[in-house]
Amino acid sequence: MLQEIAAARAARPTRVARTRRFLMCRPVHYDVVYSINPWMQPRKPTDTELAMLQWDRLRRLYLRLGHRVDEIRPVPGLPDMVFAANAATVVGGKVLSARFRHAERAAEAPAYLRWFRDRGYPVEKAKHVNEGEGDYLIAGDRILAGTGFRTDVRSHAEAQRFFGLPVVTLTLVDSRFYHLDTALAVLDHEEIMYYPAAFSAESRAVLRELYPDAILGTDADAEVFGLNAVSDGRHVVLPHQATHLIAELRSSGFVPVGVDLSEFLKSGGSAKCCTLEIRDRPRSRR
Active site residues: 179, 273
Q: Check: CB of residue 56 under 8 Å from CB of residue 32.
A: no
| Rounded Cα gap, residues 7 and 154, in angstroms | 48
| Rounded Cα gap, residues 128 and 156, in angstroms | 9
Eight-state DSSP code of residue 234: S
| Rounded Cα gap, residues 226 and 184, in angstroms | 9
What is the widest separation between alpha-carbon atoms in the chain?
60
| Rounded Cα gap, residues 267 and 276, in angstroms | 17
User: What sign for the dihedral angle of Cα 223, 17, 59, 105?
Assistant: negative
Q: Check: CB of residue 64 under 8 Å from CB of residue 91.
A: no
| DSSP 3-state of 177 | coil
Task: Report how far apart the first and last C-alpha atoms of the chain are (Å, whole number).
Answer: 52
Strands 215-216 and 136-139: unpaired
| Rounded Cα gap, residues 241 and 228, in angstroms | 12
Tell me which residue of 221, 256, 207, 260 sits closest to 235, measured CA to CA: 256
- What letter represents residue 170's amino acid? L
